[in-house]
Structure 1
Amino acid sequence: DSQNGWISASFGKLLQTTTGGAIWADISTGIFQEMTGLDFIDLQTGWLAGTSGAIYQTVDGGVNWAAQVSGTINTLFDIHFADANNGWAVGANGTLIHTSDGGLTWNPQTSGTGETLFGVDFADSQTGWVVGDGGTVLHTSDGGANWNAQTSGISFFSLNSVSFADVQSGWAVGDQGNIIYTDDGGANWQLQPSGTAKTLNAVSFADAGHGWAAGAVGTILGTVNGGTTGVEPLPDLALPERFVLEQNYPNPFNPATSIRFQLSDAETVSLTVYNALGQQVATLAQGRYAAGTYQVTWQAEHAASGVYFYRLQAGNQVQIRKMTLLR
């Protein structure tokens, strides 16, 4: 939900928030292995996965953890449960294991690849995806009895995490800031501009619009429109010397306009649009961006004619400009 969350950290440490991320508490798990995968299905029941095939389960919100026998000694990088019984874990050398009894027993499934697998997600108990090295994407529609390769289009890069909002809409993230998106269950994948070249290690979507990605050097990205409004870096320009929000072009506009902004330093950025009543109507950029010049397009097909204000905040700096939509 919007208030409760967990983060798996080094050497079996676990961070928990009950305040939507405002405050994080350090929880001692009593586990001294490196845990690289984490999944909770409710406030009480969750699993950790990590090195040497380790899997642990909690049924009391992380206070106590009990080991489960995975049947593999390979490192497990991710774990996901579709419900209280059906779960999958993935790892090194194409490792893919499944449980149908909440982890009491784990059984291997045939992934069909020797690539390291980093991420797994299921939209329901039958329909799931796995991603990994070499741009690997695997798909099942029968609970993992059969896995079939899908073409990601980025075979030279690793995909580190995958998240599906439903059986059609999914995202995967990976090296060099790559984000790929599908709206047809993975039959076709296309790149979305992320605005960063940093490695992205995790992605999660609450629904087809709201999603987050996290990665190296504290990189955190967010979208409220499924990533369809991309932030495009303009790398051929010299690094800016100051913080600038440029006037949109064209202005007046109908139905789309482009907005450029410049960052002299790496900053956490938020670019939002408000109507004349001060109501927020769009978020065009959100996340941490390196120093540089960026361009974003606002597609305003569903907005009414009138005056709008766009506000850029980067760290403690804020600039606001006005634009006009004419139908």
Structure 2
Amino acid sequence: MKKYFLLSLLFQLFSATIIIAQDFWETSNNGLNANHIYSLSVQSNNHIIAGSLGKGVFLSTDNGTNWNEINSGFPDSSNVYSLAVNSNDYIFASTDEGVFCSIDNGENWAIKMPNTSTGALAIDSNNIIFVDTDDGIYRSTDNGEIWSKTNNGLPQHFINFSFAINSKNHIFTGSGGAYQVYGVYRSTDSGDNWIEINNGLPSDINTFSLAVNSYDDIFMGSENYGVFVSTDNGDNWTEKNNGLPVNSAVYTLAINSSNQIFAGVWNKGVYFSTDFGNNWAQINTGLTTNNVRILTINPSGYIFAGTYGKGIFKSINSTTSILGEGITPPMFILNQNYPNPFNPSTKVSYSIPYITKVKVEIFNSLGQQVQTLVDEEKEAGSYSVEFDGEGLTSGVYFYQLSAGDFKLSKKMILIR
């Protein structure tokens, strides 16, 4: 019986496949007098803000159907490299002429950091603003009225392309490789001090993008090396490129409320992962260009792609919709657990194509059940559940998805 069980489990092991049935994207350019979009951000009311090269800022209040130019107070031909919104829905724009702020949905703008070329911009949950400049990183605690330099621990000539902030307000920033400065740095004290966190990263990696999911896992998109992930606050990094093109330049990352990850790969379009980056699939149907510069997702789950040359595209359906026409699970899918090996916990993600009774169980190498993670009816869609191996010995375990007569299993390794 044990032998039969193990053979059955081994027979079921295979990688996930995802199929896109029809167009995922549609153009979103009505009223948008700009072709090159470098920045996107979202307000809490689902308003979308777009920053362009040479044309300033645009606003959509109807989910991208129409756009209006909102450049009162902006210099002519402004290049808007980064956008961020604070908890009051104030909009901050980083440009080649400084940082601007609007407190009235973009109707008027005021200069907050003049005569300075600025780049990456981010705001934490305490409304502290961080911005990259040619002179390093600056911080403001009063909506941009006063700025202070916060470079302690950063290399000289540090120029970053991206920020990410986790639920603890730890800040992560990545170097774009200027002056042969590479990798990722972290601050746990609002930018007062920074430390290098590059264990597992190539020594010459250029960081293009950073994003954090609801588990505080950090995803990093790079030039030529694809995607890396850290599950321990940046202390260690693991490459996650299965399904991505070789030598991918990942300019932008976005994560929805279901922890699905979207990556804009230069000259290759958009890829997505439903299993924490373990596997990627291309999702370009409806795109008329592969040069995606920036991605953002609004609270309703719609994803917007800013491109170089073709303006903006948006998803036809919400990325978090259970039965969205863009991404509907065509089959039962059981993804590889993440992380693997693990200690003591790991995440198991799966997809089901229709409503059914679902079981997710854990077995040891003897075929003995050690835990049941899921045992209930589920709607069609993608799901994730955490397995805690506390109290179990090191070794090989199997996790199994069951739905009626259908069964899928995969192997995972617990290391103490």
TM-score by length of 2: 0.53
The separation in 2 between residues aligned to 1:12 and 1:18, in whole angstroms, is 19
What is the CA-CA distance between 1:133 and the residue it aligns to? 2.2
Kindly report which structure 2 residues correspond to 1:109-128, keeping only aligned pairs within 5 A, or say none: 109-110=150-151, 112-113=154-155, 114-124=157-167, 126-128=169-171
Note the alpha carbon deviations across 1:100-143, whole angstroms, 9 max, x for none: 11111111111522232111122257411101224420101111
> 1:304: which partner in 2?
402
Relative to structure 1, the CA distance from residue 282 to residue 78 in structure 2 (aligned partners, 3 Å threshold; closer, same or farther) is same
Note the alpha carbon deviations across 1:28-81, whole angstroms, 9 max, x for none: 3233321111111257311011224x10001111221110126x73x3221111
> 1:142: which partner in 2?
189
The separation in 2 between residues aligned to 1:166 and 1:255, in whole angstroms, is 21
Relative to structure 1, the CA distance from residue 160 to residue 254 in structure 2 (aligned partners, 3 Å threshold; closer, same or farther) is closer
Aligned with residue 270 of structure 2, among 199, 202, 220: 220
Q: Secondary structure at the match of 1:202?
A: strand
> 1:236: which partner in 2?
none
Q: Secondary structure at the match of 1:303?
A: strand
State whether structure 2 residue 140 is matched by structure 1 residue 99.
yes
Q: Secondary structure at the match of 1:98?
A: strand
The separation in 1 between residues aligned to 2:256 and 2:355, in whole angstroms, is 30
> 1:155: which partner in 2?
203
The separation in 2 between residues aligned to 1:205 and 1:273, in whole angstroms, is 21
State whether structure 2 residue 96 is matched by structure 1 residue 55.
no
> 1:291: which partner in 2?
none
Relative to structure 1, the CA distance from residue 14 to residue 34 in structure 2 (aligned partners, 3 Å threshold; closer, same or farther) is same
State whether structure 2 residue 279 is matched by structure 1 residue 210.
no
Gaps of 5+ in 1: 233-252, 258-271, 284-299, 308-323
Kindly report the root-mean-square deviation, in angstroms, between the aligned alpha carbons of the 2 structures: 3.5
Relative to structure 1, the CA distance from residue 254 to residue 60 in structure 2 (aligned partners, 3 Å threshold; closer, same or farther) is closer
Task: Report the identity percentage.
Answer: 12
Relative to structure 1, the CA distance from residue 215 to residue 231 in structure 2 (aligned partners, 3 Å threshold; closer, same or farther) is closer
Gaps of 5+ in 2: 1-43, 283-331, 337-350, 357-377, 384-397, 410-416
Kindly report which structure 2 residues correspond to 1:113-262, keeping only aligned pairs within 5 A, or say none: 113=155, 114-124=157-167, 126-134=169-177, 135-151=182-198, 153-165=201-213, 168-176=216-224, 178-193=226-241, 195-196=244-245, 197-207=247-257, 209-217=259-267, 219-231=269-281
State whether structure 2 residue 110 is matched by structure 1 residue 66.
yes
The list of structure 1 runs, each at least 4 consecutive aligned residues, that deviate by more than 6 angstroms after superposition, is: 253-257
8 Å Cα contact 2:57-2:80 kept in structure 1: no
TM-score by length of 1: 0.66
Relative to structure 1, the CA distance from residue 211 to residue 61 in structure 2 (aligned partners, 3 Å threshold; closer, same or farther) is farther
What is the CA-CA distance between 1:97 and the residue it aligns to? 0.5
> 2:80: which partner in 1?
35
The separation in 2 between residues aligned to 1:122 and 1:167, in whole angstroms, is 12
**Number of residue equivalences:** 257
Q: Secondary structure at the match of 1:69?
A: strand
Kindly report which structure 2 residues correspond to 1:14-29, keeping only aligned pairs within 5 A, or say none: 14-21=57-64, 23-29=65-71
What is the CA-CA distance between 1:160 and the residue it aligns to? 1.2
Relative to structure 1, the CA distance from residue 20 to residue 176 in structure 2 (aligned partners, 3 Å threshold; closer, same or farther) is farther
> 1:269: which partner in 2?
none
8 Å Cα contact 1:132-1:158 kept in structure 2: yes
Q: Secondary structure at the match of 1:304?
A: strand
Larger strand proportion of the pair: 1
8 Å Cα contact 2:50-2:59 kept in structure 1: yes
Relative to structure 1, the CA distance from residue 198 to residue 254 in structure 2 (aligned partners, 3 Å threshold; closer, same or farther) is closer
Relative to structure 1, the CA distance from residue 130 to residue 230 in structure 2 (aligned partners, 3 Å threshold; closer, same or farther) is same
State whether structure 2 residue 8 is matched by structure 1 residue 8.
no
> 2:381: which partner in 1?
281
Q: Secondary structure at the match of 1:212?
A: strand
What is the CA-CA distance between 1:166 and the residue it aligns to? 5.3
Larger Rg: 2
The separation in 2 between residues aligned to 1:142 and 1:15, in whole angstroms, is 34
What is the CA-CA distance between 1:20 and the residue it aligns to? 4.2
What is the CA-CA distance between 1:92 and the residue it aligns to? 3.8
Q: Secondary structure at the match of 1:90?
A: strand
The separation in 2 between residues aligned to 1:195 and 1:141, in whole angstroms, is 32
State whether structure 2 residue 123 is matched by structure 1 residue 76.
no
